[in-house]
Chain A
Amino acid sequence: MNLMADILINVIIAFLAGSLLLGLHRKIMARVQKRPGPPIIQHLLHSLKFFFKETSFPKTVSMPFYIGIVFILAAVWIVGVIVGPVSKDSLLILFGVYAVYKIVEHNSGSSSGSPYGKASCVRAVLSAATELPLFAAIVLVYLKTGSMNIGNIISYQSANGPLAFSIPLAAIMFFLLLLSKSPYSPFGITKDKALISGFETEHFGFLRGFIMFSESISWYVMLWVFLTLFFGPLTAVGYLIGMIVITFITGFINAVTPILNPNHSVMTQITIGAVCFVGTVLMILI
């Protein structure tokens, strides 16, 4: 298939599937909390709705950043789709995508001029602690398979079995990243409800639509990467089941866990990351 068509199809799939999964996540949280919850389609409808809402620009914003950062966010996760599901390229590029995402969170908050956005911007720096378990997980996958290329890692797993069974602690570290990125996460300090919507607070209309579009794609990409890295070559049904199961687990955890304060969130992530890293290195050496 033509590469551009392949990219376009994968991006639309990522958006639709990501939106439905985030809708499912919200529904699960609601059911755990004994609320009826919105329909699963609601997240997608909200995303589309924002593209047609009036967009207003607060007087305090730093305009080039305020608008540009939203498009950078969308571009970053589209690159994630291209590197992951489309070309199965290097994990380092995906790590770069996640690093840029953190910068976007930071700048989106600071460019808005809102005190909520600024507080979220500061917390985005702290929440870069989630990158440590991600980086450690990537290093451990490299140590085990000898490659950073996703295609080669899939081949390795088809010959030697899923990495989730040989380096389970690395899988837990990556899962911690998924949990941090999921909505209403105990580690979601940048979107603490004390900060309204955090760095998104002052983004309205089509700008918010782009942010929601990017969030849907990011959820899909991260689930895809996790399943591909740790559960070997999967069929479409395998990916579907895996994504739904992980969404269920994160939804259940987030529904019953209050948000941690920033210090506790960072310390918990670093502690789990360190324990899992040392444990996995010992497992590889022994």
Chain B
Amino acid sequence: MLRYLIYLLAFVVGSILGLLYSYKLHGEPYIVDSKLDIKTCIISVVGWNLGLNSSNMIFGGIGFLLAGFVMGERPGYGRKETAIGLAIAIIIYLVLHWIV
């Protein structure tokens, strides 16, 4: 259970950092941001993949920290990036666990 506690804490800390970072970056009133941010997309893909597909507790924790960072951004930001990261990680998870 300690592993899951670390993952949860990492995700929560990442979300808080992501929220603070994105509010610093985007101070404007709420808008629907349809552009894809490549940097956060890469962070999201790396984060979700480490989180879901790494058996190492430290890498998993780092992964959930990064995933939380993107997912925790202020409303309207980081949605597509999270969806892409999560989709790729789930596909790789399924390939590793069910097909191989």
Give me the interface of A with B, judged by CB distance under 8 Å.
1, 6, 9-10, 12-13, 16-17, 20, 36-41, 44-45, 236
Q: How many A-B residue pairs have CB under 8 A?
A: 42
Chain B residues near A36 (CB, 8 Å)? 30, 75-76
Most buried by B among A13, A17, A37, A236: A13
A16, B71: Cβ atoms under 8 Å? no
B1, A40: Cβ atoms under 8 Å? no
Q: B58 interface residue, CB < 8 Å from A?
A: no
A-B contact pairs, 30 of them (CB 8 A): A1-B1, A1-B2, A6-B1, A9-B1, A9-B2, A12-B5, A13-B1, A13-B4, A13-B5, A13-B8, A16-B5, A16-B8, A16-B9, A20-B11, A20-B12, A36-B30, A36-B75, A36-B76, A37-B75, A39-B15, A39-B72, A39-B74, A39-B75, A40-B15, A40-B72, A41-B12, A41-B15, A41-B16, A45-B16, A236-B4
What CA separation (Å) do A37 and B12 show in the bound complex?
18
B8, A40: Cβ atoms under 8 Å? no
Give me the interface of B with A, judged by CB distance under 8 Å.
1-2, 4-5, 8-9, 11-12, 15-16, 19, 30, 71-76
A9, B5: Cβ atoms under 8 Å? yes
Q: What's the minimum C-beta distance from A28 to chain B, rounded to whole angstroms?
A: 13
Q: What's the minimum C-beta distance from B19 to chain A, rounded to whole angstroms?
A: 6
Chain A residues near B12 (CB, 8 Å)? 16, 20, 41, 44
Q: What's the minimum C-beta distance from A136 to chain B, rounded to whole angstroms?
A: 32
B5, A39: Cβ atoms under 8 Å? no
Chain B residues near A20 (CB, 8 Å)? 8, 11-12
Q: What's the minimum C-beta distance from B28 to chain A, rounded to whole angstroms?
A: 13
Q: What's the minimum C-beta distance from B63 to chain A, rounded to whole angstroms?
A: 15
Q: What's the minimum C-beta distance from B83 to chain A, rounded to whole angstroms?
A: 13
Q: What's the minimum C-beta distance from B10 to chain A, rounded to whole angstroms?
A: 11
What CA separation (Å) do A254 and B88 show in the bound complex?
31
B19, A41: Cβ atoms under 8 Å? yes
What CA separation (Å) do A13 and B10 show in the bound complex?
12
What CA separation (Å) do A45 and B8 show in the bound complex?
14
A10, B1: Cβ atoms under 8 Å? yes
What CA separation (Å) do A44 and B13 show in the bound complex?
11
